[in-house]
A and B are shown apart, each in its own frame.
Chain A
């Protein structure tokens, strides 16, 4: 398996623009996670899905952020409109649920810069 795939790897945009980040989880994994990492706030869980259904989105910072998982092999994280404080590395991770043994596999991340 190719692992978790994220695109784009780097995104530079201007304030106010819409940004869409994409993730393809490992085939067969039933959990998908979106994280944001910054120097100031560390690694934050934004939202996670189980079998394509959002379970906990309490980490989504505000209404400008939205995430979807239309099928088991694809998820998007959208920011509209983007702001400079959204600049961060966004990671997608997936896991196969085995109670007590649920390793998360991370993608390489998308480095987002909002000017």
Chain B
């Protein structure tokens, strides 16, 4: 079946540091890939997505590229801010509009 593996957390960075959060997947066919973010006390919200190989999703300074050859969708940001502190979930879309989520990783950004 489909699965998503995220790097172990939590991650703590200083403001303006470079961020990479790794995500790899296992799926049949050609899934769509997503990053969702959960700010403290809130539900999840879509951060970015990519629907086919070599697509790059981007939003709020975050980027992720769909790499079919390595089955990866790593999240990057060049300069993180305190307001980026949140839990980040990688997800893939399987059949029937169902999303499969990774375990999530907590990012804390220090001023």
Whether A associates with B in a native complex is: no
**Which chain A residues have a beta carbon within 8 Å of chain B's beta carbons?**
none
**Which chain B residues have a beta carbon within 8 Å of chain A's beta carbons?**
none
